[in-house]
């Protein structure tokens, strides 16, 4: 079984009626629903207001892949918890960072991104997400183009270090482009950043988006038998 934890700050859904209508079970609930159709996935959720944000050492030790949705409350995430997640990623836990999670403490710490740096606009532009790498495991079963009728616009320049791979690239009807699916490796951990998922559109109810997340979980999960690695002063014996 692949153990998955979906983390969400759960702020918009609990404070704005119109967002709660779109996500009655929270964004985390919708993501969970999308993932748990896979027979070999076990999915739990955690939110900001849970003790230790629901990300205790025990939870993280039993998580193969962590998904992260945050927007307004990045600074309310305790540094101690960020440190704990960071260590687990370096030790092999997969991390999938969604939408405005680009500005989360954990994404910035892991990638070094100056990641508030991008253009954005909420005018309901159409988004066309083009598949840039049809050989990539995250592309499995997807069409080469995902069209989303209305989304928040993000535009380049997106101030991240060069990703290892660009799996998706978006075009918006306002003319912007954006690297919407980026992979990074840090230590033994694999990280996937995926752009769509603004709270005021029902993005995580879509089958194609759910397929991306399922594929990303399978790609990001740790190796079966992770090799042990020595760092620091080393003598050949």
CB burial of 194-230 (b: ≥16 within 10 Å; e: otherwise) equals bbbbbbbbebbebebbbbbbbbbbbbbbbeeeeeeee
Comparison of 69 and 219: residue with beta carbon closer to Zn ion: 69
Q: What are phi and psi of 181, to 5 degrees?
A: -135, 105
Query: Can you tell me the distance from the alpha carbon of 9 to that of 171, in angstroms, rounded to the nearest whole number?
Result: 28
Smallest distance from the beta carbon of 197 to Zn ion, in angstroms? 7
Strand partners, 189: 186
Comparison of 5 and 100: residue with beta carbon closer to Zn ion: 100
Q: Is 12 in the site for Zn ion (CB under 5 A)?
A: no
Smallest distance from the beta carbon of 102 to Zn ion, in angstroms? 10
Give the 3-state secondary structure of residue 167.
strand
Closest by alpha carbon to 158, among 203, 100, 109, 74? Answer: 100
- What binding mask, one character per residue, do residues 55-94 give for Zn ion by CB under 5 A, x or -? ----------------------------------------
Query: Can you tell me the distance from the alpha carbon of 132 to that of 129, in angstroms, rounded to the nearest whole number?
Result: 9
Give the 3-state secondary structure of residue 25.
coil
Q: For residues 188-207, which are near Zn ion according to CB under 5 A?
A: 198
Smallest distance from the beta carbon of 11 to Zn ion, in angstroms? 12
Q: Is 152 in the site for Zn ion (CB under 5 A)?
A: yes
Smallest distance from the beta carbon of 154 to Zn ion, in angstroms? 8
Comparison of 64 and 199: residue with beta carbon closer to Zn ion: 199
Q: What tokens were used for 108? A: 């910035």
Smallest distance from the beta carbon of 18 to Zn ion, in angstroms? 14
Angstrom distances, CA of residue 93 to CA of 13, 70, 76, 113: 28, 19, 23, 20
Smallest distance from the beta carbon of 54 to Zn ion, in angstroms? 22
Residue nearest to Zn ion (CB): 198
Q: For residues 91-120, which are near Zn ion according to CB under 5 A?
A: 100
Comparison of 22 and 59: residue with beta carbon closer to Zn ion: 22
Q: Is 9 in the site for Zn ion (CB under 5 A)?
A: no
User: Interface residues with Zn ion (CB under 5 A)?
Assistant: 100, 152, 198
């Amino acid at each position: 079984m692949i153990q998955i934890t979906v983390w969400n700050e759960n702020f918009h859904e609990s404070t704005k009626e119109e967002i709660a209508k779109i996500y009655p079970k929270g964004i985390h609930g919708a993501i969970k629903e999308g993932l748990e159709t896979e027979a070999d996935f076990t999915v739990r959720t955690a939110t900001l207001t849970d003790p230790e944000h629901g990300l205790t050492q025990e939870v993280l030790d039993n998580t193969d892949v962590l998904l992260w949705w945050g927007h307004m409350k990045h600074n309310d995430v305790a540094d101690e918890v960020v440190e704990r997640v960071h260590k687990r990623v370096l030790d092999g836990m997969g991390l999938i960072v969604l939408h405005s999670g680009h500005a989360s403490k954990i994404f910035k710490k892991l990638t070094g991104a100056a990641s508030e740096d991008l253009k954005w606009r909420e005018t309901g532009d159409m988004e066309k997400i083009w598949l840039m790498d049809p050989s990539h495991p995250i592309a499995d079963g997807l069409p080469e183009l995902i069209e989303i009728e209305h989304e928040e616009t993000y535009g380049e320049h997106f101030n991240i270090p060069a990703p290892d791979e660009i799996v998706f690239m978006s075009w918006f009807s306002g003319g912007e482009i954006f690297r919407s699916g980026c992979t990074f490796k840090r230590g033994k951990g694999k990280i996937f950043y995926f752009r769509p998922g603004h709270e005021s559109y029902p993005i995580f109810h879509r089958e194609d988006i759910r397929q991306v997340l399922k594929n990303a979980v399978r790609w990001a999960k740790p190796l079966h038998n992770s090799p042990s690695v020595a760092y620091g002063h080393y003598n050949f014996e």
